[in-house]
Amino acid sequence: MKIVVIGGTGLIGSKLVSKLREHGHEAVPAAPNTGVNTLTGEGLAEALKGAAVVVDVSNSPSWEDAAVMKFFETSTRNLLAYEAAAGVGHHVALSVVGTERLLESGYFRAKMAQENLIRASSIPYSIVHATQFFEFIKGIADISTAGNKVPLPPVLFQPMAADDVASAVGRVAVGPPVNGTVEAGGPEKFRLDEVVRRYLAARKDPREVVTDPHARYYGIEVSERALVPGDDARLGETRFETWLSQPTAQVPSTKPQPAA
């Protein structure tokens, strides 16, 4: 089956392409550096020729409110139009658990706009809502740091390995469209402050996490259960402690992370 992975060179996309190929699918990574740009439409018609499924795991290079909204609206509109023309039978998109509860954030308003365009389109679809990646925890610490302190609210948090996110998205991509949302989460529930504290300690990072129920998460107030999935979520296998002990758990990212 030909499966085009939009954002197939990114963190989740590159893992997803490998997994799909391991299972014998023709997985085609599509991103600006493979000649496909969903913002302009460049390369899309050619890339989608003969594709049965398109998986969108792209992300906006900028998370400024207007820029991120423009990215997800324009790229999703373009993608859906080119998919309709190419006869694609399944559009899969990766979004975030709790998106509908986090609309105080411009990033989540943009993800919601992306989801609404998908729901309104004529193409059968599946939206995968994943919890925060373990790989994203450093980004949460960095954005929350003030001096040597990292104030964070003790809300429930159920992060998962990027590898498990890619597996969950891959399983959905090769299955029938659900025309709805499926949730994926990590195998364990923690408190946000606790996870970041453990991450920094494991990395011998001297910053101190301060538990503060009024602290903001990526600039917004989050309630106790805003970031965790429901009981039907598909759970990843990788435990936080196992991931922390792997050398690949080092996150080399230099760019700011999205408010996910």
Ligand X SMILES: NC(=O)c1ccc[n+]([C@@H]2O[C@H](COP(=O)([O-])OP(=O)(O)OC[C@H]3O[C@@H](n4cnc5c(N)ncnc54)[C@H](OP(=O)(O)O)[C@@H]3O)[C@@H](O)[C@H]2O)c1
Shortest distance in whole angstroms from residue 218 CB to ligand X:
10
Nearer to ligand X, 110 or 150 (CB): 110
Q: Which residue is nearest to ligand X (CB)?
A: 10
Shortest distance in whole angstroms from residue 58 CB to ligand X:
3
The DSSP line for the chain is -EEEEETTTSHHHHHHHHHHHHTT-EEEEESGGGT--TTT-TTHHHHHTT-SEEEE----S--SHHHHHHHHHHHHHHHHHHHHHHT--EEEEEEETTGGG-TTSHHHHHHHHHHHHHHHSSS-EEEEEE--BGGGHHHHHHHH-BTTEEEE---EE--B-HHHHHHHHHHHHHS---SSEEEEE-SS-EEHHHHHHHHHHHTT---EEEE-TT--BTTB---TTTTS--TTPEEPS--HHHHHTSGGG-----SPPP--
The binding site for ligand X (CB under 6 A) comprises 6-7, 9-13, 31-33, 36-39, 57-59, 61, 75, 94, 96, 111, 130, 132-133, 136, 258, 260
Nearer to ligand X, 9 or 121 (CB): 9
Nearer to ligand X, 136 or 190 (CB): 136
Shortest distance in whole angstroms from residue 161 CB to ligand X:
11
Shortest distance in whole angstroms from residue 148 CB to ligand X:
25
Shortest distance in whole angstroms from residue 109 CB to ligand X:
12
Nearer to ligand X, 35 or 87 (CB): 35
Nearer to ligand X, 112 or 200 (CB): 112
